[in-house]
A and B are shown apart, each in its own frame.
Chain A
Amino acid sequence: MSSGDWDGVRLHVVTGKGGTGKTTIAAALAMSLATHGKRVLLAEVEGRQGISGVFDVPRLGEDEVQVATGPGGGQVMGLSVDPKAALLEYLQMFYKLGMAGGMLERFGVIDFATTVAPGLRDVLLIGKVYEAVRRRPSRRGTRSAQLYDAVVLDAPPTGRVGQFLGVNHAMAGLAKMGPVKNQADAITALLQSAQTAVHLVTLLEEMPVQETVEAAAELRALSLPLGAVVINQEVTPPVGDGTLAQLAATDFDDAPLAADLAAVGLRVGPRMLAGLAQTGRDLTQRLALQDRERDALAGLGLPTVHLPLVPGGMDAGGLLELADAVAAQGVFG
């Protein structure tokens, strides 16, 4: 994998099975992109306040606020996109609604439109992200708005991401023309362009890998450009293949093991010998399972990023460690 593969990418979409580390990885990626003088927006769309949790800052609202300084000296801004606010903003932008906005709210129209109108919610959410990616200086109405070098989207999980990014499909049954349709078309054009990369976060476990493989196929069918597979929470066991191979042999002789244990002062019995040997064999089994999942991922033909399990759980230091690991692997340009 050479560095700069996604040099032209301005929108990084991060998805994966629930709980695999989408929010964490999106945050680490944003940090790694925030090199000197660069400004990166990290956006979430499910109202879960994941970003404020990761950075340990107050709840995010509709405003884009700084959540961190990148290790490279840049700025990471955070945003929690709210579909209602996006709809009102959108109506205001195109229709100068004024008072009518409040009325729509009062009659429950905004609620209705943002929860059930097919695809509309997603168009609104991703429309806001699109707007942030496309912001240009001196554009009308964006004078005070921030400009970004890159936008990282903490996207919905694999099960919903196709529907979420496939805004055009979703809208097919709904608006056949008019501004929403135009908006959906413009969003789709960006999403399908080389400016976008969709990254898939997974663990080396059956379900996350299965969902990753399925999502990759779905996203490809939607002509969405895939980025990297991120294998998260990888652990390097302290035991090497050579040791494991010896343990696996049918004629494994535990006498030398017993001698070593005695030499370091442990009280050696058959239970200890059997227990330790079995611990090693369990690891062999687990590694074989991981290899199977690794193979399934390799079949996708995508560049792979490996991120370690941060021992003792995530904190600010852990996030920097992951951001460094992301940067060191050079995959994200």
Chain B
Amino acid sequence: MTPPTLDIDVLLRDRSVRTIVCCGSGGVGKTTTAAAIAIRAAEQGRTVAVLTIDPARRLAQALGLEHLDNEPAPVDSIDSSAGGSLDAMMLDMKRTFDELVLRHSTPDKAQQILENPFYQAVSSSFAGTQEYMAMERLGQLHAELAGGAARWDLIVVDTPPSRSALDFLDAPGRLGSFLDGKFIRLLMSPAKAGGRAYLKVMSVGVHTMTAVMSKVLGGQLLRDAQTFVAALDSMFGGFRERADHTYALLSDASTAFVVVATPERDALREASFFAGRLASEGMPLAGLVVNRVERTRLPSLREGRAEAAAEEADGLPERTGTSWQPTDTAALLRLHAEHAAQAVRHEAAIGRFTASHPTIPQVLVAAAAEDVNDVGQLREIGAQLAE
């Protein structure tokens, strides 16, 4: 069964595509793929920004990202002869959150929020904050103007390292529903009703509860929680609205998802879940990038034959006059046999994915012998994405 081919150039030529999101489970090559796509797009003449999340240090350096910086900065090492450009940034989730607070509240109130321990917990470690802030930042980048027009005509988005690709879609909602939680609303009611009314509406039960909580955690906890909730109150509507808005952006026809997976069962299963989810949400899936596929240097020599030949070579008489011995030959044959076996496993895993998703376009990227961390290597991956 031959699935349709994912040709990244077709996607990049389509000017109506303004966002490409690279998703996938942990460590499969999302950041690498996002960077490769961004470079290729820029070198084909598009005005591109790439939003990376936790890139490997050497990759970050290759993109000129020496320090964590929430602002896109030009990548000079690309070929701009086609008239394109590339800006790269690393997401700083706490800073994005802080700026959001600063933008949506008075300076006094903002300060109060920023110093609150609950805010600090939510903004730096709450599961889902990174995903939420990635979406938030994406929305901001799209809104940036230069000379009256959008500053970038394509934004390539990397997604946070997470076990499940679905987290990218679900996490912002989790943060939203946390902010919608029962206890939060309860804590908020005094702020809305005013201090005195608060005492009246508090049932005896709630009293007992808060008493227990302050006893266990110290009275400061509840005061902090109340300050946090009250201070964020004015922003809540804004928060959820924003999350909804960005989510809507993702289901827009101007967005294309690229799912990345390694040719292994678990990663492909995640890719499969994700594809199903996109379909049910009506979100556009451009296709699957199978990254780090084993390609032997010698496709015609099968594993079994190579193994048998190695056995035989081991039995050949020692050679005089040269240092190369039959055992060296046997070792090379065994090494090839290992690669060939791996290639067969990969092919089988991809075949299983294809069988259950025959219509999802695919493209394979070979496993490089080294880590991918310079612009030249990223270009090479970009080229494979368009083969």
Name the distance in Å between B235's Cβ and chain A's nearest Cβ. 16
B117 touches A238 (CB 8 A): no
Pick from A120, A274, A286: contact of B369, CB under 8 Å: A286
What chain A residues lie within 8 Å of B161 (beta carbons)? 18
A301 interface residue per 8 A CB criterion: no
B143 interface residue per 8 A CB criterion: no
What chain B residues lie within 8 Å of A238 (beta carbons)? 331, 334-335, 338
A115 touches B332 (CB 8 A): no
A94 touches B216 (CB 8 A): yes
B220 interface residue per 8 A CB criterion: yes
Stretch at the interface among B11-19, B79-87, B175-183: B175-183
B209 touches A256 (CB 8 A): no
B68 interface residue per 8 A CB criterion: no
Give Cα A265 to B298, complex, Å: 16
B216 touches A179 (CB 8 A): yes
A260 touches B181 (CB 8 A): no
Stretch at the interface among B91-99, B251-259, B274-282, B317-325: B317-325
What chain B residues lie within 8 Å of A274 (beta carbons)? 297
Count of B residues near A, CB < 8 Å?
64
Among A43-63, those with CB < 8 Å from B are 48
What chain A residues lie within 8 Å of B184 (beta carbons)? 108, 112
Give Cα A276 to B224, complex, Å: 67
Among A6-31, those with CB < 8 Å from B are 17-19
Pick from B126, B221, B309, B332: contact of A279, CB under 8 Å: B332
A233-269 vs B, Cβ < 8 Å mask (1 yes, 0 no): 0000111101100100000010011001101111000
What chain A residues lie within 8 Å of B212 (beta carbons)? 91, 95, 97, 100, 104
Q: Give the residue name and chain of the B residue nearest to A247 (CB).
A: B332
A62-87 vs B, Cβ < 8 Å mask (1 yes, 0 no): 00000000000000000000000000
A206 interface residue per 8 A CB criterion: yes
What chain A residues lie within 8 Å of B57 (beta carbons)? 206, 210
A217 interface residue per 8 A CB criterion: no
Pick from A107, A118, A243: contact of B117, CB under 8 Å: A118
Q: Give the residue name and chain of the B residue nearest to A173 (CB).
A: B117
Name the distance in Å between A27's Cβ and chain B's nearest Cβ. 17
Give Cα A113 to B218, complex, Å: 13
**Known contacts A18-B161, A238-B338; A261/B183 CB under 8 A:** no
B217 touches A174 (CB 8 A): yes
B215 interface residue per 8 A CB criterion: yes
A101-137 vs B, Cβ < 8 Å mask (1 yes, 0 no): 0011001110111011111100000000000000000
What chain A residues lie within 8 Å of B329 (beta carbons)? 256-257, 260-261, 264
Name the distance in Å between B88's Cβ and chain A's nearest Cβ. 18
User: Chain A at the B interface: mostly helix, strand, loop or mixed?
Assistant: helix
B328 interface residue per 8 A CB criterion: yes
**Known contacts A260-B316, A276-B297; A109/B218 CB under 8 A:** no
B154-187 vs A, Cβ < 8 Å mask (1 yes, 0 no): 0000000101000000000000001001111010
Pick from A18, A94, A109, A116: contact of B122, CB under 8 Å: A116
B332 touches A257 (CB 8 A): yes
Give Cα A219 to B312, complex, Å: 53
Among B219-243, those with CB < 8 Å from A are 220-221, 224-225
**Known contacts A109-B209, A260-B326; A120/B217 CB under 8 A:** yes
A142 interface residue per 8 A CB criterion: no
Among A170-215, those with CB < 8 Å from B are 173-181, 205-207, 210
B56 touches A174 (CB 8 A): no
**Known contacts A104-B209, A118-B118, A266-B301; A210/B313 CB under 8 A:** no
Give Cα A134 to B83, complex, Å: 67
Pick from B126, B183, B338, B371: contact of A112, CB under 8 Å: B183
What chain B residues lie within 8 Å of A113 (beta carbons)? 213, 217
A160 interface residue per 8 A CB criterion: yes
B26 interface residue per 8 A CB criterion: yes
What chain A residues lie within 8 Å of B183 (beta carbons)? 107-109, 111-112
Q: Give the residue name and chain of the A residue nearest to B340 (CB).
A: A279
B56 touches A207 (CB 8 A): yes
What chain B residues lie within 8 Å of A246 (beta carbons)? 323-324, 328
Q: Give the residue name and chain of the B residue nearest to A104 (CB).
A: B209
**Known contacts A111-B182, A115-B178; A95/B216 CB under 8 A:** yes
Of B163, B216, B313, B370, the most chain A CB neighbours within 10 A belong to: B216
Pick from B126, B181, B332: contact of A108, CB under 8 Å: B181
Among A301-332, those with CB < 8 Å from B are none
Give Cα A229 to B27, complex, Å: 20
B126 touches A116 (CB 8 A): yes
Pick from B215, B220, B296, B370: contact of A176, CB under 8 Å: B220
What chain B residues lie within 8 Å of A95 (beta carbons)? 212, 215-216
4 shortest interchain CB distances as A-B pairs = A108-B182, A173-B117, A275-B298, A118-B121
Residue contacts A-B, CB under 8 angstroms, 24 given: A104-B209, A108-B182, A108-B186, A112-B225, A116-B118, A116-B126, A120-B217, A174-B217, A175-B217, A178-B218, A180-B216, A206-B58, A253-B324, A256-B324, A256-B329, A257-B329, A260-B313, A260-B316, A263-B313, A277-B332, A279-B297, A279-B335, A279-B339, A289-B370
